[in-house]
């Protein structure tokens, strides 16, 4: 017995799950295409400084960070946004706006492993750079809905809020950014009392605490009714009023698109990432009480990285968690009619011919395996059956003499003799 196993929080994906992961990735790529997002590939390893700049304490403290052999402080990316913002602040700085960029790949966080929470996981990430308009935020919500819908998920809700409401109030009350960040982190962890105490300790007046308290309790119900109550609640704080108005416009546009998204407005909603400045959201399915995706607006990040001031909004979807949700809701992948083939030579001298047939089939885009264990036909067929392969091509002496092979349909359990040059049309 080998003592080797995967590192804690890291997983192998065996064929069945690898297939679902790739299936979701394909759907994500299709959504990118449908909405005009171009794919970019950025490095898994980035400078620690870049990744740590604005991700927030929660993620910062969970980064896989280390010194490389050249004594550079680097880390494995815990998300994509910093890398994309770096590109837009540098190489892509003169590109015409809007820029719609898509990435997919693995990200790393030293989270405590549990169901739906891993240390290596996969995200599909979309960033829309250059627009501060509510239609940009609405687009990100709509494309997220398109992805969830295209994999067949049901009953999911979009929890939505606006960072500008709480931050607007705190800014007008002269709370410094560091305290604001700490308050938002606590709110993200639903530690509302601690968050409000922190505001209180900064010498903020009682009225303001009452307003914040009311906001934190304001969630759910009819979407536009909740927004109206938010507006009443923040009366007098100009920045917060503007934020509510902005949230209203975004939700109205989505409603006019008839996307039929189930929203849950949460006035006290905060997200761990520090760079958000506007609308924020998460997608949740009731069966697994964790977010399948999340995102929002971050208008100052690119400037912070030394680029031109560039408003931006984006989202990251957790591919592993979408898979978990599909499995929990028992949603099958769409069936793709795949005529998988195994080619079985009956004698060693026919292996070369089996290789030749397999090459031709693959060149015609037909997934093909060759029997490489030297097993007898019955055993090889049994194995092909177990793996749900559709056709077996048996390369035997008698048929080869006639320039033919046997093609066996393993589902219908029928077989016929087919000329070598007709194999592909028989299978397609
Ligand atoms: P965030 O970048 O924190 O907004 O996360 C975006 C999405 O990534 C979340 O909504 C999850 O679907 C997924 N995600 C975050 N952390 C993990 C994790 N530790 N394991 C698996 N998926 C995760």
pLDDT in tens, the chain (428 residues): 789 999 999 999 999 999 999 999 999 999 999 999 999 999 999 999 999 988 778 889 999 999 999 999 999 999 999 999 999 999 999 999 999 999 999 999 999 999 999 999 999 999 999 999 999 999 999 999 999 999 999 999 999 999 999 999 999 999 998 999 999 989 988 899 999 999 999 888 888 999 999 999 999 999 999 999 999 999 889 999 999 999 999 999 999 999 999 999 999 998 877 889 999 999 999 999 899 999 999 999 999 999 999 999 999 999 999 999 999 999 999 876 678 999 999 999 999 999 999 999 999 989 999 999 999 999 999 999 998 899 999 999 999 999 999 999 999 999 999 999 999 999 98
Q: Mutate which of 111, 156, 294, 315 to test ligand 1's pocket (most atoms within 8 Å of Cβ)?
A: 294
Q: Collapsing DSSP states into helix, strand and coil, what is residue 302?
A: helix
- Rounded Cα distance, 374 and 354, in Å: 12
- Rounded Cα distance, 51 and 106, in Å: 15
Do residues 75 and 63 lie in contact, with contact meaning Cβ atoms separated by under 8 Å? yes
Alpha carbon of 353 to ligand 1 centroid (Å): 49
Of 218, 131, 215, residue with least CA distance to 167 = 215
Alpha carbon of 293 to ligand 1 centroid (Å): 7
Ligand 1 atom with least separation from CA of 292: 12
Alpha carbon of 27 to ligand 1 centroid (Å): 18
Task: Provide the greatest CA pair distance for the chain.
Answer: 96
- Rounded Cα distance, 211 and 421, in Å: 79
Taking the CA of residue 421 as centre, how many other CA atoms within 13 Å lie in the half-sphere pointing to its CB? Answer: 1
Alpha carbon of 206 to ligand 1 centroid (Å): 36
Alpha carbon of 334 to ligand 1 centroid (Å): 25
- Rounded Cα distance, 180 and 198, in Å: 9
Ligand 1: residue whose CA is nearest its atom 15: 318
Shared domain for 381 and 295, answered yes or no, is no
Of 322, 301, 21, residue with least CA distance to 144 = 322
Q: Collapsing DSSP states into helix, strand and coil, what is residue 44?
A: coil
Alpha carbon of 318 to ligand 1 centroid (Å): 5
Alpha carbon of 247 to ligand 1 centroid (Å): 23
Shared domain for 76 and 187, answered yes or no, is yes
Domain housing 376? 341-427
β pairing state of 312-318 and 341-345: unpaired
The pLDDT score that the predictor gives to residue 56 is 77
Ligand 1: residue whose CA is nearest its atom 20: 117
Do residues 250 and 138 lie in contact, with contact meaning Cβ atoms separated by under 8 Å? yes
Shared domain for 183 and 292, answered yes or no, is yes
Instruction: Provide the 8-state DSSP code for 422.
Output: G
Alpha carbon of 382 to ligand 1 centroid (Å): 41
How far CA 292 is from CA of 124, 159, 244, in Å, comes to 11, 11, 25
Tokens read off for 88: 């837009």
- Rounded Cα distance, 275 and 55, in Å: 7
The pLDDT score that the predictor gives to residue 337 is 60
Do residues 344 and 393 lie in contact, with contact meaning Cβ atoms separated by under 8 Å? yes
Ligand 1 pocket at CB < 6 A:
79, 109, 111, 116-118, 121, 123, 272, 291-294, 316, 318, 320-321
The pLDDT score that the predictor gives to residue 92 is 97
Ligand 1 atom with least separation from CA of 123: 8
Query: Among residues 259, 293, 328, which one ends one of the domains?
Result: 328
Ligand 1: residue whose CA is nearest its atom 13: 318
Return the sign of the alpha-carbon dihedral for residues 317, 318, 319, 322.
negative
Shared domain for 231 and 318, answered yes or no, is yes
Ligand 1: residue whose CA is nearest its atom 16: 117
In a domain, 2, yes or no: no
In a domain, 335, yes or no: no
Ligand 1: residue whose CA is nearest its atom 8: 318
Do residues 320 and 329 lie in contact, with contact meaning Cβ atoms separated by under 8 Å? no
- Residue 287 Cα to chain centre, angstroms: 18
Shared domain for 293 and 374, answered yes or no, is no
Instruction: Provide the 8-state DSSP code for 373.
Output: S
Alpha carbon of 317 to ligand 1 centroid (Å): 7
In a domain, 296, yes or no: yes
Query: Among residues 328, 350, 385, which one ends one of the domains?
Result: 328
In a domain, 96, yes or no: yes
The pLDDT score that the predictor gives to residue 336 is 65
How far CA 363 is from CA of 18, 117, 380, 395, in Å, comes to 24, 40, 23, 19
Shared domain for 347 and 420, answered yes or no, is yes
Ligand 1: residue whose CA is nearest its atom 4: 294
Shared domain for 260 and 389, answered yes or no, is no
In a domain, 191, yes or no: yes
Alpha carbon of 5 to ligand 1 centroid (Å): 24
- Rounded Cα distance, 139 and 425, in Å: 44
Shared domain for 275 and 203, answered yes or no, is yes
Q: Mutate which of 316, 317, 322, 326 to test ligand 1's pocket (most atoms within 8 Å of Cβ)?
A: 316
Q: What is the DSSP string of 66-91?
A: EE-TTS-EEEE-S-SHHHHHHHHHTT
Shared domain for 322 and 398, answered yes or no, is no
Contacts of 371 (CB under 8 A, 6+ apart): 342, 343, 344, 345, 354, 380
Tokens read off for 377: 């036909």
The CA R_g of the chain, rounded to the nearest whole Å, is 27
- Rounded Cα distance, 121 and 320, in Å: 6
Shared domain for 251 and 117, answered yes or no, is yes
Q: What is the CATH number of the domain that holds 295?
A: 3.30.930.10
Shared domain for 22 and 118, answered yes or no, is yes
Q: What is the CATH number of the domain that holds 366?
A: 3.40.50.800
Do residues 43 and 349 lie in contact, with contact meaning Cβ atoms separated by under 8 Å? no
**How many independent structural domains does the chain possess?**
2
Query: Among residues 305, 328, 351, which one ends one of the domains?
Result: 328
Q: Mutate which of 123, 285, 288, 326 to test ligand 1's pocket (most atoms within 8 Å of Cβ)?
A: 123
Contacts of 103 (CB under 8 A, 6+ apart): 39, 40, 41, 42, 80, 83, 84, 123, 124, 125
The pLDDT score that the predictor gives to residue 205 is 87
In a domain, 411, yes or no: yes
Of 201, 117, 227, 215, residue with least CA distance to 169 = 215
Ligand 1: residue whose CA is nearest its atom 17: 117
In a domain, 203, yes or no: yes
Shared domain for 32 and 112, answered yes or no, is yes
Order across the sheet with 414-419: list the strands.
Answer: 368-370, 341-345, 391-395, 404-409, 414-419
């Amino acid at each position: 017995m080998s003592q080797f196993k995967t590192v804690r929080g890291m997983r192998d994906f065996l064929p069945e799950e690898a297939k679902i992961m790739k299936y979701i990735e394909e759907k994500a790529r299709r959504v990118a295409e449908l909405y005009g997002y171009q794919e970019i590939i950025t490095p898994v390893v980035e400078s620690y400084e870049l990744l740590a700049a604005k991700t927030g304490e929660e993620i910062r403290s969970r980064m896989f960070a280390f010194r490389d052999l050249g004594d550079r402080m680097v880390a494995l990316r815990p998300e994509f946004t910093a890398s994309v913002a770096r590109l837009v602040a540098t190489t892509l700085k003169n590109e015409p706006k809007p820029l719609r960029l898509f990435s997919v790949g693995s990200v790393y966080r030293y989270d405590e492993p549990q169901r739906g929470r891993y240390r290596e996981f996969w995200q599909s990430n979309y960033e829309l750079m250059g627009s501060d308009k509510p239609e940009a935020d609405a687009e990100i919500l709509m494309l997220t809905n398109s992805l969830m819908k295209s994999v067949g998920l049901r009953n999911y809700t979009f929890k939505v809020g606006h960072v500008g409401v709480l931050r607007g109030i705190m800014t007008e009350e002269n709370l410094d950014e560091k305290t604001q960040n700490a308050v938002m982190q606590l709110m993200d962890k639903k530690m509302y009392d601690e968050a409000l105490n922190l505001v209180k300790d900064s010498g903020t007046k009682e009225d303001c605490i009452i307003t914040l308290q009311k906001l934190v309790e304001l969630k759910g119900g009819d979407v536009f009714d909740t927004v109206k109550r938010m507006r009443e609640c923040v009366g007098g704080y100009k920045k917060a009023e503007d934020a509510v108005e902005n949230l209203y416009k975004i939700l109205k546009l989505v409603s006019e698109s008839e996307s039929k998204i189930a929203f849950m407005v949460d006035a006290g909603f905060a997200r761990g990432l520090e760079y958000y400045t506007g609308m924020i959201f998460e997608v949740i399915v009731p069966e697994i009480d964790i977010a399948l995706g999340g995102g929002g607006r971050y208008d100052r990040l690119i400037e912070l990285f030394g680029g031109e001031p560039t408003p931006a909004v984006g989202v990251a979807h957790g591919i592993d968690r979408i898979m978990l949700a599909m499995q929990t809701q028992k949603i099958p992948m769409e069936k793709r009619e795949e005529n998988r083939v195994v080619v079985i030579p009956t004698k060693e001298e026919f292996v070369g011919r089996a290789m030749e047939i397999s090459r031709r089939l693959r060149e015609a885009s037909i997934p093909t395996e060759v029997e490489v264990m030297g097993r007898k036909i019955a055993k090889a067929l049994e194995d092909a059956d177990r793996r749900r392969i559709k056709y077996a091509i048996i390369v035997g002496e008698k048929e080869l003499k006639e320039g033919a092979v046997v093609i066996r349909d393993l589902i219908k359990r029928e077989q016929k003799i087919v000329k070598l040059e007709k194999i592909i049309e028989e299978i397609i």
